């Protein structure tokens, strides 16, 4: 009897590539496998595609049903893999993501080596890495090489290039209490953390052939997360992977309805795509839809409004009068950015502190705006100026030319918040 391979496919909202991963399993020359599709509650489009493959009895499908607001709490693929490892029945274990393609000989090559070398616990192969753009065209390709027998495989071997014996799993569970470490700080390195555990029982033996193709897609977690700060600045307008738009307002996210997007002078070019585990950490607030034009309480913050000759900036649920032409010039607001509101609607607004041509405690800086002091950029929010790294500024699509310069006095008048910076926690050996 040929050994059985359990393949664990983790999936989340990759309708353009997930079928390639599944088809690549069905196209294997080696046929004794089971495929566990661990779907992290994908959108309907993705689910429909996956469900088209479920008639093959070797394929099992599980939907995590995760609530979006819980998504950030663990490294989701590690959590899903741990659930799958409770269900597998194979002799060998192999991991697959929804943007990776196994070459047809992957399982046969890997199982042959493991069958012939009983002392090998883990094998790994070369991988072709292919970056693709939104329309699936190749941007570049490179080969991730094998590097001999590895005793420290962390960060050297990809998630989808490994096969290991199932017999190692109870040893890992007994020592660590879990298989994969799903702590949320290791989204970038969850595989590295598990490879370190595996390597305690077996080195990684190389198979110097390309056996899978890793697609780097524009919406992948790492791509979206690159240069993204852990905290989103207030006033930012973002796009989810499901293509919904949201206003970030403090710790709240408000969905912006398509029908009012343009009426509220939002600009598609300014939208920043963010990954769902980050976006859904923000509590859901009242949606921004037609009703905002008849109820000042629902009107979004961080907009310019006008009524007759009076102009305002909305903030903290109030309308802050823009006192003079000088004040308007300082804000670098264009009159075409102003949203016309009816007089009875304006009456409905609470009037906030004025915005004048200089900022101080009585006339505080407007929130959700970009400021400049001595060539450093700051974002205002919560009464503070938060420094922002240049690469974060670019990632969030702020226009530097619209930054409002501050005088020394003004800069000194407001407390400084925590810096919005970009950080990745690398997996480190805890021992
Ligand atoms: P992916 O977006 O491909 O990230 P990377 O840039 O690191 O390649 O996601 C990696 C895996 O994580 C993929 O198999 C899908 C899974 N995943 C979830 O299960 N749940 C989620 O919420 C997210 C964002 C990803
Ligand atoms: Mg990926």
* Residue 33 alpha carbon to ligand 2 centre in Å: 23
Contacts of 213 (CB under 8 A, 6+ apart): 100, 101, 103, 127, 128, 129, 130
Q: What percent of the chain has pLDDT over 90?
A: 94
Gap from CA of 95 to ligand 2 centroid (Å): 12
Residue 423: the pLDDT is: 85
Please state the atom number of ligand 1 nearest to the C-alpha of residue 223: 6
The closest residue, in CA terms, to atom 12 on ligand 1 is 77
Q: What is the pTM of this model?
A: 0.92
C-alpha torsion angle, residues 93, 183, 225, 429 (rounded to 10): -80
Active-site residue, 191 included: yes
Structure token digits, residue 280:
């859904």
Least trusted range by pLDDT, from 237-246, 305-314, 342-351, 419-428: 419-428
> Got the DSSP string for 246-308?
EEEETTEEEEEPHHHHTTTT--GGG-EE--HHHHTTSEE---BSGGGGT-GGGSPSS-EEEET
User: Which DSSP string corresponds to 319-365?
Assistant: EEEB-SHHHHHHHT--GGGEEE--HHHHHHSEE---B-SS-SSSSPP
Q: Could you please report the per-residue DSSP string of 356-375?
A: -SS-SSSSPPPTT-EEEETT
Q: How confident is the model at residue 431 (pLDDT cuts 50, 70, 90)?
A: very low
User: Is the pLDDT at 33 greater than 70, yes or no?
Assistant: yes
Q: Which ligand is nearest to the CA of 191?
A: 1
Ligand 1 close to Cβ of residue 302 (< 6 A): no
Q: How far is the CA of 307 from the centre of ligand 1 (A)?
A: 47
Predicted confidence at residue 271, as pLDDT, reads: 97
Q: Higher pLDDT residue, 64 or 134?
A: 64
What is the rounded CA–CA span in Å between residue 268 and residue 262? Answer: 9
Secondary structure in 3-state letters for 188-205: CCHHHHHHHHHHCCCCEE
Q: State in Å: Cα 222 to ligand 1 middle.
A: 9
Tokens of 114: 């493991």
Catalytic residue among 182, 191, 212, 249: 191
Spatial contact of 168 and 69, defined as CB atoms under 8 Å apart: no
Closest atom of ligand 1 to CA, residue 220: 2
Work out which ligand 1 atom sits closest to the CA atom of 99. 3
Closest residue to atom 24 of ligand 1, CA basis = 221
Is 380 a pocket residue for ligand 1 (Cβ < 6 Å)? Answer: no
Band of residue 430 on the pLDDT scale cut at 50, 70, 90: low
Rounded to the nearest integer, the mean pLDDT of the chain is: 95
Query: Is 109 in contact with 205 (CB distance < 8 Å)?
Result: no
The burial of 422, by beta-carbon neighbours within 10 Å (0-12 exposed, 13-18 middle, 19 or more buried), is given as middle
Please state the φ and ψ torsions of residue 162, each to the nearest 5 degrees.
-125, 145
Q: Which residues contact 335 (CB under 8 A, 6 or more apart)?
A: none
**Residue 429: its pLDDT value, please?**
58
- The stretch 215-239 carries a mean pLDDT of 94
Average pLDDT over residues 421-428: 80
Residue recorded with tokens 């961080």: 302
The pLDDT tens digits for 293-346 are 999 999 999 999 999 999 999 999 999 999 999 999 999 988 889 999 999 999
């Amino acid at each position: 009897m040929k050994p059985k391979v359990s393949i664990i496919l983790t999936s989340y909202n990759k309708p353009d590539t997930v079928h390639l991963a599944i088809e690549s399993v069905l196209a294997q020359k080696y046929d004794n496998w089971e495929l566990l599709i661990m779907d992290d509650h994908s959108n309907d489009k993705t689910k429909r595609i996956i469900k088209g493959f479920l008639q093959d009895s070797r394929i099992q499908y599980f939907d995590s049903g995760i609530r979006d607001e819980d998504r950030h709490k663990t490294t989701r693929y590690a959590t899903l893999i741990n659930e799958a490892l409770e269900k597998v029945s194979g002799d060998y274990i192999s991991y697959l993501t929804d943007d990776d393609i196994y070459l047809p000989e992957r399982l046969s090559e890997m199982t042959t080596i493991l069958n012939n070398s009983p002392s090998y616990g883990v094998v790994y192969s070369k991988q072709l890495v292919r970056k693709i753009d939104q329309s699936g065209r190749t941007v570049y390709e490179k080969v991730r090489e094998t590097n001999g027998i590895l005793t420290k495989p962390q960060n050297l071997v990809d998630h989808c290039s490994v096969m290991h014996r199932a017999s190692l799993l109870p040893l890992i569970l007994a020592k660590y209490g879990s298989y994969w470490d799903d702590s949320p700080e290791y989204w970038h390195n969850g595989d590295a953390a598990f490879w370190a555990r595996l390597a305690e029982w077996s080195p990684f033996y190389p198979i110097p052939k390309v056996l899978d193709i890793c697609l780097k897609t524009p919406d992948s977690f790492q791509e979206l997360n690159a240069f993204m700060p852990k905290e989103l600045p207030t006033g930012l307008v973002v796009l989810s992977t499901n293509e919904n738009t949201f206003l970030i307002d403090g710790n709240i996210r408000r969905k912006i309805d398509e029908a009012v997007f343009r009426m509220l002078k939002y600009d598609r070019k300014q939208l920043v795509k963010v990954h769902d585990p980050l976006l859904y950490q923000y509590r859901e607030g009242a949606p921004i839809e037609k009703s905002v034009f008849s109820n000042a309480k629902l009107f979004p913050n961080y907009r310019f409004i006008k009524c007759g000759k009076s102009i305002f900036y909305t903030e903290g649920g109030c309308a802050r009068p823009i006192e003079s032409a000088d004040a308007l010039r300082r804000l670098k607001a264009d009159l075409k950015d102003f949203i016309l509101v009816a007089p009875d609607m304006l009456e409905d607004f609470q009037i906030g502190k004025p915005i004048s041509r200089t900022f101080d405690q009585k006339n505080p800086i407007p929130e959700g705006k970009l400021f400049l002091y001595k060539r450093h950029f700051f974002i205002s929010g919560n009464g503070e100026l938060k420094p922002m790294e240049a690469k974060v500024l670019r990632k969030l699509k702020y226009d530097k030319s619209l930054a409002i310069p501050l005088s020394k006095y003004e800069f000194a008048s407001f407390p400084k918040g925590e810096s919005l910076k970009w950080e990745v926690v690398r997996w480190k050996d805890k021992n």
